[in-house]
Amino acid sequence: MQSFIQIESPNYLKLEALASPPDWSAIFGNNNPIALEIGCGIGDFILKTAIDHPNVNFIAIDFYNKGCWKTCRRLDRHGITNVRVLRDEARLFITDRIPKGSLSAVYINCPDPWPKKRHRKRRLVSSHFLEFLREYLAPGANFYFATDFDDYGIDVAEFMPQVSGFRNAFAPDLYRHDFPGYHKSKYMQKFLAEGKNIFFVHYKLAPGSL
């Protein structure tokens, strides 16, 4: 069993200290759009993405304490100020801490694929999850999903056209294996080096769909 790591970082927020929902503009000190990464891992993706988009405020969450700690260390070393890291479960965090209609983008990279058939109902990304998430997205918001697990990638690519309010940014392709400009985490790079494919899915929330 891993010991709990105390995280001391200007980029780390403790849930118990936050309002529900928080005033994100006050937390970041500006009114820039907010984006959410679900499952930040060790923080390599969110670091590069935050550098690319200095006028976006990024919220990065992970269920694992060690991942949050590694992400904060990485951000701190690079002097990043437009990311805040929190430890929480995705649905609960969104419900309690994100104002409806406020997210400009959501990124979900290589979530647990729950490969056994009997466990697949535990997968985070499903049509029900996207219907839930839709309420928290701003018009025109981006939804990005990436996975190294073939079955998961094909499943998400096939149900997304049935979720109302979203427009496929890759049309006519349901998914792509290459996404120029989209940073690949070290986890993705490991699988690519093994000759495996990454499935990328990219949708936008159509204006007036809420």
Whether the CB-CB separation of 9 and 33 falls below 8 Å is answered with no
Q: How far apart are CA 130 and CA 205, in angstroms?
A: 11
The DSSP element (H or E) to which 154 belongs, if any, is helix 150-159
- The phi-psi region of residue 140 (left if phi > 0; otherwise alpha if psi is between -120 and 50; otherwise beta) is left
For strands 34-38 and 57-62, give the pairing: parallel
| Cα radius of gyration (the chain) | 17
In angstroms, how far is the first alpha carbon of the chain from the final one? 44
Q: How far apart are CA 144 and CA 21, in angstroms?
A: 24
Among residues 23, 44, 76, 112, which one is catalytic? Answer: 112
CA distances from 167 to 26, 33, 61, 136, 171 (A): 32, 20, 26, 16, 8
112 given a catalytic annotation: yes
Catalytic residues: 112
